[in-house]
Chains A and B, each alone.
Chain A
């Protein structure tokens, strides 16, 4: 077995040194009835060639997003990942190191996480950010829980413009934590009255920016209403690239930002692993979940980095921890940091502009199709179309013709006839004019 360095001679010598007759003797504490003498009913070991062959065969059964014009978003976006990103994250010193609990041996990890925290704070316009959470959806649920701790209230108001999967995760967490949620109905055109739901029990209002349907809204007034009532405004961002072009949540008065960072450096990978971003005001930092890296000095007075404010965390606080989170998304955060570092200020704003331009071009083309309407007044790189008939079968037909033509909203809201005709369409820098033409032609044909 290529991954196991012990030889049979080693094993014999080691058993002799231990003073036991056989390996079975080392499992003597296992109740006899539970010791399996025979191999379990699974295939035997395979060489690299065989494993590659079998897994490549599975991969080949999929239509990769690179093999078809792809207009899918809904919380995961297909962006170009510069070659340097994947090279650097595969360096063994990053890939195969543990959580930086021994700071003298992990200054590399700690420094990039400090850079990550700074990037996230700058991008969202917030004061501080943590070293990442699992993904955007769990970050959103953690934000709701944190708002409860900060305000000592237990009701959260969730906008109908929040990604329905994020909403669902909040529902699961809240149900078991015993918190109340006031969930607004799907709101593709906006028009919901969130301010009217803020009362003395409200811990927070959760909105999405741009919202699930792509609409961009100013939440400044809502922030003021929340603050007057002693509640927090939580702003969720699922397409973090948008903040290269639009006003950051921090400028609108957000108290907590929970976001998905996949768009920078992380492949679509069928939904994970991604990287949850979490930022807040500095005064709430002791209520934050997840790891935090802080600056300090070493015994010789040189600047260095450590994990800090650890007393919030489970390994010290146990049942009183701010969250049960232990792992973060280290390597995905590194990919995020490297990609954003490569882009820099100039590259980020240009990439954002490019995305917006391509989405505008796609929207303008598609709304010229008879019967197709644009639901949005504004959008960044994703918008919602109303088709003249249910979107789900249209998407299936397009897929059969080699076009990944958006996401039917009914996938998130089955059985809601009034939402059946809605199609969520995203267009990033990976979409070419030819892709738009093919989508346009395909959609025209299907709708004819």
Chain B
């Protein structure tokens, strides 16, 4: 079963035990265009759901990535800092941003599953 969850800010959250892997969706990267820069938080920082956790930029647009869940940052994907094109090439895989140790796993319950998210994206047009 696919446990990946999605937010209205176009982030995806994939729970792996008590840690969640987080990135931006394929739709988000396509809207942003070629990603040129990614700024990631420090490991060890505690973030609150809905607060700014990272920044992603294309040549002509900048966007904050909001923490979809609360918790401690336990890992960041340095590979996308060195090669931001990875976010465009594989947003849902190699292009992940951060891993957060879940402070409150129930936060995931209110998020969309993939089908609901696709429907949400379709409404954006």
Interface residues of A (CB under 8 A from B): 286, 308, 310-311, 316-317, 320
Q: A358–B43 Cα gap in the complex (Å)? A: 58
Contacts of B58 in A (CB 8 A): 311
CB–CB A317/B62 < 8 A? yes
With both beta carbons as reference points, the residue of chain B lying nearest to A296 in the complex is identified as B59
The main secondary structure of chain A at its interface with chain B is: helix
What are 11 A-B pairs at a CB distance below 8 A?
A286-B37, A308-B59, A310-B60, A311-B37, A311-B57, A311-B58, A311-B61, A311-B62, A316-B60, A316-B61, A320-B62
Interfacial chain A residues near B59, Cβ < 8 Å: 308, 310-311
Which residues does chain A contribute within 8 Å of B62, judged by CB atoms? Answer: 311, 316-317, 320
Residue of B nearest to A286 (CB): B37
Residue picked from B58, B59, B60, most chain A C-beta under 10 Å: B59
CB of A104, distance to nearest CB on chain B (Å): 15
Q: A286-B37, A308-B59, A316-B61 are in contact. List 7 more A-B contacts (CB 8 A).
A: A311-B58, A311-B59, A311-B60, A311-B61, A316-B60, A316-B62, A320-B62
B57: nearest residue on chain A (CB-CB)? A311
B56 closest partner in A (C-beta): A311
Interface residues of B (CB under 8 A from A): 37, 57-62
**Which chain B residues border A320 with CB–CB below 8 Å?**
62
* Residues of A with C-beta under 8 A to B60: 310-311, 316
CB proximity of B78 to chain A, nearest CB, Å: 16
Q: How far is the CA of A286 from the CA of B39 in the complex (A)?
A: 11
A250 to B62, CA, bound (A): 31
In whole angstroms, how far apart are the Cα atoms of A352 and B58 in the complex? 44
Query: Bound state CA distance, A317 and B63, in angstroms?
Result: 9
Which of A311, A316, A317 has the largest number of chain B CB atoms within 10 A? A311
Task: Write out the residue numbers on chain A whose beta carbons fall within 8 Å of the beta carbon of B61.
Answer: 311, 316
CA A320 – CA B52 in complex, angstroms?
12
Question: What separation, in Å, do the CA atoms of A317 and B58 have in the docked complex?
Answer: 12
**Would you give the shortest CB distance from A297 to chain B, in whole angstroms?**
14
B contact residues around A286 at 8 Å (CB): 37
Q: Which residue of A lies closest to B64 (CB)?
A: A320
The minimal Cβ–Cβ distance linking A430 to chain B, given in whole angstroms, is 46
Task: Report the 7 A-B pairs with minimum CB-CB distance, sorted nearest first.
Answer: A311-B62, A311-B57, A317-B62, A316-B62, A316-B61, A316-B60, A310-B60
Chain A residue at smallest Cβ distance from B39: A286
